[in-house]
Amino acid sequence: QEAVEAEKVEAGAGDKEAAPDDGEKDAEAPSYDELKIPENFEINADQYATFKEKLGAEGVSADTAQALLDMHIEALQGAADTWSDTVKEWGEQIKADKEFGGRHLESTRTKAAEAIEKFGSPALRDYFDQSGIGNHPELVKAFARVGDVLAEATTEPAGGQSADPLAALYPSMNQ
User: pLDDT for 31-66, tens place per residue?
Assistant: 898 999 999 899 999 999 999 999 999 999 999 999
| Count of alpha carbons within 13 angstroms of residue 169, beta-carbon side | 3
Whether residue 18 has pLDDT greater than 50 = no
Q: Residue 159 and residue 67: Cα distance in Å, rounded?
A: 75
User: pLDDT for 82-113, tens place per residue?
Assistant: 999 999 999 999 999 999 999 999 999 999 99
pLDDT tier for residue 171 given thresholds of 50, 70 and 90? low
Q: Residue 12 and residue 3: Cα distance in Å, rounded?
A: 14
User: pLDDT for 115-131, tens place per residue?
Assistant: 999 999 999 999 999 99
